[in-house]
Each structure stands twice: as C-alpha cells, then as structure tokens.
Structure 1
C-alpha cells in the first residue's frame, strides 16, 4: 500500500483496544464504494489523510486523546479532549453517518452545518471536532476546529489538516493538574 500520509507515524499504540470502542466506533474497513456513498450523503469530500487512516482501522478510541489549544473553552483552559474518532460508515452508533454521527449533531443539537463532525468529546455532545470546509469549499482540504456548544457554538482553530491534528494529539496525563 502506497502511503501518501502519516510517513514515519507509528499507529501501533494509537488506538485503544476496548469493548466500547469495538461496539460503538470501529466499523469494517472502509472501501471505495463506502467512501463514495458516505461522501455523497454528507455532501463533502473527506480528507485523504482521514481516508487512509480509516482504511487501516475504521474509527475508534485513541490512546492519545488531548489536543492543546491557545485559548480556553468549556472543557479546559489549554486543551480539548476527544472520546473517539468516527469511522466511515453507517452501522456503528459513532460512525460518520451513524445514529449519533455528523448529521445527527447538526439536526438534533443545532451544530453549524459547515462541515463534517468526525470526533466526539467527553462532554456527551456539548462540544465536537469538525472538518471545517468554510475556507476551502466542499471538495477542498478542511481545517480541523473545535465547536463549543456550551459557548454559543464558538469555533476554535486546532490544526491546518487532519494529519496535523492526529500528530498533535497528546496523552491525557500531559494536561493533568499537579
């Protein structure tokens, strides 16, 4: 497999192996037919780095689940946390087109329809991580932003792209108060 993204990145210890992840997040590996179908349903071209990652494991909980921020949000003064990364599919509760997927967050929770919500947070729906297509159009390379429902859906820039976001995730312990 030719890898355009994540050169020198070790996924060996990236994913958390637990029953919750297997039951609610991890879908069968994404194939081209499923990717096309999900992109059509969502109305956006998914980032190549995300697609490549989902072809090796399609969603799940990450061992490193904290991303540093330059500004405070409803979760913390200096970071956001993710629960899991949604896979490409429909069958898992937390997959892009699943029961609690991207469109659910827009329709039921009132999140802005400016992209694809791909990672949930420990706040049980009160903040989400988004592929933000506001600056690039539906076929461009989206920025990664945090949307804070508790703060009037405030948008906080996190990373220029998905790979940068994944590489920037840190262990929770790095942000625990002493």
Structure 2
C-alpha cells in the first residue's frame, strides 16, 4: 500500500529535535517489519507501514483526537505524544525498551493488540491497535486505553488511517 496523494506525509510530522531523538528510527526494511510483526504476534496495518516507510515514528503536528466521551485526559479528546516507529532502537519504538510489550507487561495494559502511540500522561494512558474483532492478521480498530480508569477502552477509529486523518491540532481544544 502506498499513501494516497491527498495525504501529505511531509507536513504531517513535527520536525523538532526531540521528535527525531526520541521516536524516529531508520526506515524499516521488509525483514525488520516481518521480525517486529513476529515478535508482537500481529500484522501491522498497511497504512501504518506505509506511513512508517515515509518517516519511521515521530511526533505529528496534530496530536489530538476528538472523542464523544470523556477520558482522564479531557472531556472531548485524547492527546498523543508521538507515534511509535517500527524498530527496536528507540525506547518508544514498537519493540523498544518502553514499547508495546513493555506497556503490557509492566503497566498492565490489556493484551488486545499493539501500543502504537504514547500519551502525555507518561504511561497512564495509551493508544492501541485493537485486534479483538479482526484477529491478529486483520485490520485493527484504534482505541484509547485509560489506566487511570481501570483500563477503560474508548473506541477512537475503525482503522489506523482514519485515526491519523482525524488528528487535529491541540489549539482546537484551547479555551
């Protein structure tokens, strides 16, 4: 899958030094993608892989996703700190030292899929790819999981592309 021309991956990402240092891995090879998928036990969504081939993890310019129900973060949205890259070298990469499996094992997040975004709460909530309805090789939904509310799962989007396209700038929610 390639990213559609109506999505500008070049302007999607924040180019801050922090984003490059904390999140961005080298472009993923086919072998690395297969290895990470085997390690996680899930096939990654095609749009996610295509986006990571453009830039492998980082901080998007738009970091908020509107919700119809409140979370511990806000009454009307969730916020992300960044999107995990496909790799093992950055701490918040999918298989990094603070990646998806770490969040499940150490923080007790439910084994429903893959932690794909961290949040500003420093581990108290995450955004996950939710494979419960589709199985490990299907197209996962995207959900917010809130540790502060007994790991409450809030549906966000039917797939990763819809989630990414639905991100809005934080100024949308400033009062």
Q: TM-score, normalised by structure 1?
A: 0.96
Corresponding position of 1:14: 12
Which residue, out of 144, 147, 157, partners 2:145? 147
**Cα RMSD, aligned residues only:** 0.9
Distance in 2 between residues matched to 1:9 and 1:17, nearest whole Å: 17
Corresponding position of 2:97: 99
How far has the Cα of 1:112 moved from its partner?
Answer: 0.4
Distance in 1 between residues matched to 2:26 and 2:118, nearest whole Å: 20
1:33-88 deviation digits (Å, cap 9, x = unpaired): 00000000000000000000000100001110000000000000000000000000
Q: Which runs of at least 4 in structure 1 moved beyond 6 Å after TM superposition?
A: none
Give runs of aligned pairs for residues 22-171 of structure 1, distance below 5 A: 22-171=20-169
Distance in 1 between residues matched to 2:56 and 2:4, nearest whole Å: 16
Residue 167 of structure 1 aligns to a residue whose secondary structure is: helix
How far has the Cα of 1:12 moved from its partner?
Answer: 2.5
- Which stretches in structure 1 are left out of the alignment for 5+ residues? none
State whether residues 94 and 100 of structure 2, in contact with CA within 8 Å, keep that contact through their aligned partners in structure 1: yes
State whether residues 6 and 163 of structure 1, in contact with CA within 8 Å, keep that contact through their aligned partners in structure 2: no
State whether residues 15 and 60 of structure 1, in contact with CA within 8 Å, keep that contact through their aligned partners in structure 2: yes
Q: TM-score, normalised by structure 2?
A: 0.98
Residue 107 of structure 1 aligns to a residue whose secondary structure is: helix
- Which stretches in structure 2 are left out of the alignment for 5+ residues? none
Residue 157 of structure 1 aligns to a residue whose secondary structure is: strand
Q: Size of the alignment, in residue pairs?
A: 175
How far has the Cα of 1:13 moved from its partner?
Answer: 1.8
